[in-house]
Amino acid sequence: MLSRTANGLFWMSRSVERMENVARLLDAGRRMESLPQPDGAKATEWGSIVIASGCRTTFPAPLDTASRANVPLHLAFDDTNPSAIRSCARAARENARAMRTALTSELWDAVNLTWTDIRHRDPHETLQGRAFTDFLDWVKSRGALIRGQIDATLLRDEGYAFIELGKWIERADATARLLDVKYHVLLPHSSDVGGGLDYLQWLQLLRAANSATAYRHLYRRNIDPEGVIDLLVRNPRSPRSLATGTQGICGALGAIGAHTAAQRATHTHAQTLRDQTAGTRVADIINQGLHEWLTDFIGALNTLAIEIGDAYGFDGHTVEPTEAVAE
């Protein structure tokens, strides 16, 4: 398969996953915003959403002015923000269009119609009141539809494996970022740790990850940080945990196969990351500090993604030097 095709499928898939995850983050912000605040406390949830989405550099205003009025707009409709929901829908569609012959018409329709629908939406109308939650639900359902078409109509070939690879890398990244939101949402007083507000914030995070009910099924106790970390980091039964994500990456790489030394090396690195993630104890994470641990994980995942791209020849923007020697 052409490296460019692998690149297109990989980024189509990542864009769809990111589109959906940004919607989840906005949902988390919306839920936390509605929590009761003690008098005089400064709301920090929207700023934390900007940080968690990785959009700190594109956000056009100082972070302490982040609010319901400017964050959803930037994360959903700001065309200068490549991670905005609309930008992701466009990127997914452009990649799909360039790879049109590698897709089924059902999958193409799902990706194409997502873009044609969102491109004409009025941002202010869409983000207002009740329409906002409907919009977030719509984005998640489009993500689900596209994944469904991938699952139901696509040949299980190398192209499919690159789509899976993109999905799992993006999802692991998103779950780590979602968990990190909790670090950035400040509690008014240090004594509030373990208190009612703390509990409610953890609960909203789980809800944004569609995992609140699963938590009760799996742990049969009230929500606490140890449980949430275990579920979203280590638990292989969660569809969004880091363990599941890194296992998914290894599975996709296995389906793609390793043909060169560089490719074999990335497979080993992916397995190392998977084993480390699944083998970490919650107590270790808390001792290191959740934020510090997540920062390391996000960095390692990013390094792995770049390494994989290099090994399979889809660095995207670098052009092979003219006198390049074939391997």
Partner 1 sequence: MYDEMYDGAKTRNEYKIIADWIAREGIEALLTKQDEAETLFRRIGITFAVYGEGGDPDRLIPFDMIPRVFGPTEWDRIERGSIQRADALNAFLRDIYGPREMIRAGKIPEQMILNNEAYEPVVQGYTPPLGIYSHVVGVDLVRVSADEMYVLEDNCRTPSGVSYVLQNREVMSRMFPELFESNMIRPVDGYGDMLAEAMQAVAPPMCEGEPTLALLTPGHFNSAYFEHSFLADQMGIELVEGGDLFVDNNRVYMRTTQGPERVDVIYRRIDDAFLDPKVFRPDSMLGVPGLIDAMKAGGVSIVNAPGAGVADDKAIYTYVPEMIRFYLGEEPILPNVPTWRCADTEDLKYVLSHLDELVVKEVHGSGGYGMLIGPSATRDEIAAYAERVKADPDGFIAQPTLSLSTAPVLTENGLAPRHVDLRPFVISGKSTRLIPSGLTRVALREGSLVVNSSQGGGVKDTWVLNTEAPDA
The residues that touch partner 1, with contacts defined as CB under 8 A, are 1-4, 6, 97-98, 100-101, 105, 158, 162, 256-257, 259-260, 312-314, 319-320, 322-327
Residue 310 CB partners (closer than 8 Å, separation 6+) = 262
CB of 269 to partner 1, least distance (A): 18
Tokens at 8, concatenated:
């297109």
CA dist 72 → 33, 68, 136, 205, 224 (Å)? 12, 6, 10, 17, 28
CB of 250 to partner 1, least distance (A): 17
Residue with the two structure tokens 């994500």 = 245
* Amino acid present at 292: E
Nearer to partner 1, 155 or 326 (CB): 326
The CB-of-162 to partner 1 minimum distance in angstroms stands at 8
CA distance 294 to 167: 19
Q: Shortest approach of partner 1 to residue 238 CB, angstroms?
A: 30
For residues 107 and 9, the answer to whether their CB atoms sit within 8 Å is no
Reference 139, options 60, 67, 66, 84; nearest CA is 84
Count CB neighbours of 211 within 10 A. Answer: 23
Rank residues 200 and 262 by Cβ distance to partner 1 and give the closer one: 262
How many Cα atoms within 13 Å fall on the side-chain side of residue 12? 32
Q: Which is nearer to partner 1, 97 or 207 (CB)?
A: 97
Residue 57 or 324: the one with the smaller Cβ distance to partner 1 is: 324
Nearer to partner 1, 122 or 157 (CB): 157
Q: How far apart are the first and last CA of the chain?
A: 16
For residue 321, the minimal CB distance to partner 1 (Å) is 9
The residue (of 1 and 300) whose beta carbon lies closer to partner 1 is 1
**What is the rounded CA–CA span in Å between residue 197 and residue 14?**
34
Q: Which is nearer to partner 1, 51 or 270 (CB)?
A: 270
Give CA separation, 68 vs 81, 145, 178, 212, in Å.
17, 28, 18, 24
Cβ 126 to partner 1 shortest distance, Å: 21
User: Minimum CB separation from partner 1 for residue 168, in Å?
Assistant: 17
- The CA distance from 123 to 85, in Å, is 11
Residue type, 174: A
